[in-house]
């Protein structure tokens, strides 16, 4: 297996489905219970042995950098008040020196372009990508499932889930050449196909491990669906030389880039919370 030490988190999106709140608050800072989405992704990455994380952000995302920094006045107030548990909670979000880095995506040219912005930081080693608004509830962290299977000879790897036929138009969908257990060897990827065009119902979600050669391809990638540089288009171009392995991951994905997915995540995490679960279950019964 190949050790994966670096992860990239593209967080420059506008979060338009959550307007008007995302006019002032980055969507990655929206909370599920008492933690923002981005913190769940960071904890997932660290649980997989990842040592460094690069956030590819945009204008209006300063709250992300502030969240992962010390807040001296707040910390002093909590210490004076004896609120040691709360103090420990906020101190635990501050990384060790050098663990986090930030780079600005100055033009909204798409997901593939956001990944390309990480080129100089990643350099010449395989790396992970996590999209924080894909919240994963798994017994084993989702990106660790990929890291445990990944070898450099695999080239590129993507987390995959099986979706309903009517939902394929929201995803990059695999054209499958062969399957061995949970590993899918692919011969192509179709970005946001119609139900009739989709080669399968195996859809890529926001977890990847990529070969560093992806940057050479992204540098020449032409805009695709939506006039943006699509990562899936670059992955398709690399299949003849590097392949693309899909891993059917074990767990549940919440699409927290949508209001419906965010509500579902709040309910699911609330019901599993050891302190709040029973109260939330009783409250929900009033509305069923």
* Domain limits, the chain: 6-257
Instruction: At 274, list the tokens.
Output: 């050891």
Its CATH class, for the domain covering 6-257, is alpha beta
Q: What is the pLDDT of residue 178?
A: 94
Q: What is the pLDDT of residue 2?
A: 74
Q: Judging by DSSP bridges, how do beta strands 31-32 and 35-36 pair with one another?
A: antiparallel
In tens digits, what is the pLDDT along the chain, a chain of 288 residues? 678 999 999 998 888 899 889 888 999 999 999 999 999 999 999 999 999 999 999 888 888 899 999 999 999 999 999 999 999 998 888 888 789 999 999 888 899 999 999 999 999 999 999 999 999 999 999 999 999 999 877 899 999 999 999 999 989 899 999 999 999 999 999 888 899 999 999 999 999 999 999 999 999 998 876 778 889 889 999 999 999 999 999 999 999 999 999 999 999 999 999 999 999 999 999 888
Asked if 134 and 15 touch (Cβ cutoff 8 Å), the reply is no
List, as one string, the DSSP characters of 61-127.
Answer: -HHHHHHTS--HHHHHHHHHTT-HHHHHHHHTTSPPTTSEEEEE--S---HHHHHHTTHHHH-SS-E
């Amino acid at each position: 297996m190949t050790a994966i030490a670096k992860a990239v988190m593209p967080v420059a999106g506008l979060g338009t489905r959550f307007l008007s709140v995302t006019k002032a608050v980055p969507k990655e800072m929206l909370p599920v219970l008492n933690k923002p989405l981005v913190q769940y992704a960071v904890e997932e990455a660290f649980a997989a042995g990842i040592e460094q994380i690069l956030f590819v952000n945009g204008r209006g995302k300063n709250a992300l950098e502030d969240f992962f920094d010390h807040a001296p006045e707040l910390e002093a107030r909590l210490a004076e008040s004896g609120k040691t548990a709360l103090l420990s909670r906020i101190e635990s979000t501050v990384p060790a020196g050098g663990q986090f880095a930030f780079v600005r995506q100055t033009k909204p040219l798409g997901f593939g372009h956001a990944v390309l912005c990480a080129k100089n930081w990643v350099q010449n080693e395989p790396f992970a990508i996590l999209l924080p608004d894909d919240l994963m509830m798994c017994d084993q962290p989702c990106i660790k499932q990929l890291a445990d299977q990944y070898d450099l000879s695999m080239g590129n790897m993507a987390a995959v889930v099986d979706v309903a036929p009517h939902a394929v138009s929201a995803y990059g969908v695999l054209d499958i050449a062969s399957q061995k257990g949970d590993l899918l060897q692919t011969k192509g990827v179709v970005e946001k196909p119609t139900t009739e065009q989709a080669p399968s119902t195996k859809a890529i979600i926001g977890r990847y491990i990529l070969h560093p050669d992806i940057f050479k391809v992204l540098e020449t990638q032409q805009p695709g669906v939506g006039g943006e540089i699509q990562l899936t288009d670059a992955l398709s171009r690399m299949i003849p030389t590097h392949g693309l392995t899909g891993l059917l991951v074990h767990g549940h994905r919440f699409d927290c880039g949508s209001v419906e997915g965010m509500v579902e995540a709040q309910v699911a995490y609330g019901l599993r919370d050891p302190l709040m679960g029973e109260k939330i279950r009783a409250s929900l019964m009033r509305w069923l």
